[in-house]
């Protein structure tokens, strides 16, 4: 018969080996789970990297569009400022021309009145009817 102490030691060693095997199975499952999760994350990382590259390209394109819009806006602002200056100059010239026109119209009326007076004097009395002499 087997010594009970020896049997207890053998059972303790067997239990320890079972626990070690169980622990190793847990470790192996953990490594397998970690490997699967790592693969999923690697694939996701690749997707995110491609998405980042796409976003960078879009960002660059949008930056170029923004820069072009700023350039066009600056050109439009300059053209607007030039048009405003031309408009102001034209408005001043128009005001000056109106003053000159009004003055010329007054001078014309005054000259017409003077000529009418001279004609009346030259025609003499009775020439008010406008009949030719």
Answer with the residue of higher pLDDT: 126 or 38: 38
Q: What is the pLDDT of residue 45?
A: 98
Confidence band, pLDDT 50/70/90 cuts, at residue 48: very high
Say how many domains are in the chain: 1
> Would you place residue 131 in the very low, low, confident or very high pLDDT band (cuts 50, 70, 90)?
low
130 sits in the region (left: phi over 0; alpha: psi -120 to 50; else beta) called left
Mean pLDDT score, 80-106: 98
* Averaged pLDDT score across all residues of the chain: 93
Residue 110 inside a domain? The answer is no
The number of helices, as runs of H, and strands, as runs of E, in the chain is 1, 0
Contact status, residue 83 vs residue 90, Cβ threshold 8 Å: no
Residue 121 in any domain: the answer is no
Q: Please report the pLDDT score of residue 129 as a whole number.
A: 55
Determine, yes or no, domain membership for 49.
yes
Task: Flag whether 115 is in a domain.
Answer: no
pLDDT at 37 exceeding the cut of 70: yes
The answer to the question of residue 109 being in a domain is no
pLDDT of res. 66: 98
pTM of the model: 0.52
Task: Tell me the backbone φ, ψ of residue 130, rounded to 5 degrees.
Answer: 85, 10
Q: Which two tokens stand for residue 124?
A: 């003499």
Q: What length is written for the chain?
A: 133
Calpha distance 124→133 (Å, rounded): 10
Q: Is 104 inside a domain boundary?
A: no
**Whether pLDDT at 42 is above 60:** yes
Mean pLDDT confidence for 97-124: 95
Domain that holds residue 15: 7-88
Give the model's pLDDT for residue 125.
73
Triad 6, 22, 39: Cα angle to 5°: 160
Q: Is residue 133 part of a domain?
A: no
> Does residue 128 lie in a domain region?
no
Compute the distance between CA of residue 98 and CA of residue 43 in angstroms, rounded to an integer. Answer: 80
Q: What is the mean pLDDT of residues 17-41?
A: 96
């Amino acid at each position: 018969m087997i010594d009970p102490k020896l049997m207890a030691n053998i059972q303790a060693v067997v239990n320890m080996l079972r626990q070690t095997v169980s622990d190793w199975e847990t470790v192996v499952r953990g490594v397998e789970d970690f490997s699967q999760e790592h693969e999923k994350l690697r694939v996701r990382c690749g997707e995110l990297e491609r998405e980042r590259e796409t976003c960078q390209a879009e960002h660059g394109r949008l930056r170029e569009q923004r820069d072009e819009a700023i350039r066009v806006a600056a050109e439009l602002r300059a053209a607007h400022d030039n048009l405003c200056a031309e408009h102001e100059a034209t408005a001043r010239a128009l005001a000056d021309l109106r003053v000159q026109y009004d003055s010329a119209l007054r001078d014309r009326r005054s000259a017409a009145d003077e000529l009418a007076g001279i004609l009346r004097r030259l025609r003499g009395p009775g020439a008010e009817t406008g009949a030719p002499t």
